[in-house]
Amino acid sequence: MIQDFTLEQIKAIHDHIISKYGGQQGILYEATLEHLLMILESCPDPARKAATIIHCIAARSPFIDGNKRIGYVIARLLLLQSGIDIEANQEEKYNLVISVSKGELRYDQIKEWLLKRHIILNQ
């Protein structure tokens, strides 16, 4: 069962990643995160939820810093709790989030990228 993240959990993940890997703490657009959470409620499957997370955070940049990292990490955490992981090397993941942040990939393309690279974990 997929449990969507709360706003507080997303903020905590952001704070942890920024503290550990560097960057500036803070949120620019909390409404973007609230909108993301509302959209996730209607997403029927993990790939769509993960694509929505990556697109919303990496492309719309609700945080002062770390949007690409945070978007990918939260999407992957959601997939992992569903028994799914992403099989991609660092360069492929980097290229994904950079392309999303530049507006070069749309939601459907992100979802396809995830579906082509997902693996089911033994549970």
Q: What is the CATH number of the domain that holds 112?
A: 1.20.120.1870
By residue range, what is the domain housing residue 68?
Answer: 7-18+27-120
CA dihedral 100, 105, 109, 111 (to 10 degrees): 20
Residue 81 lies in a domain: yes
CA dihedral 17, 53, 59, 23 (to 10 degrees): -10
pLDDT per position as a tens digit, 6-64 = 999 999 999 999 999 999 999 999 999 999 999 999 988 999 999 999 999 999 999 99
Residue 2 lies in a domain: no
Domain tally, the chain: 1
Residue 1 lies in a domain: no
The reported pLDDT for the residue numbered 25 is 94
Q: The pTM is what?
A: 0.92
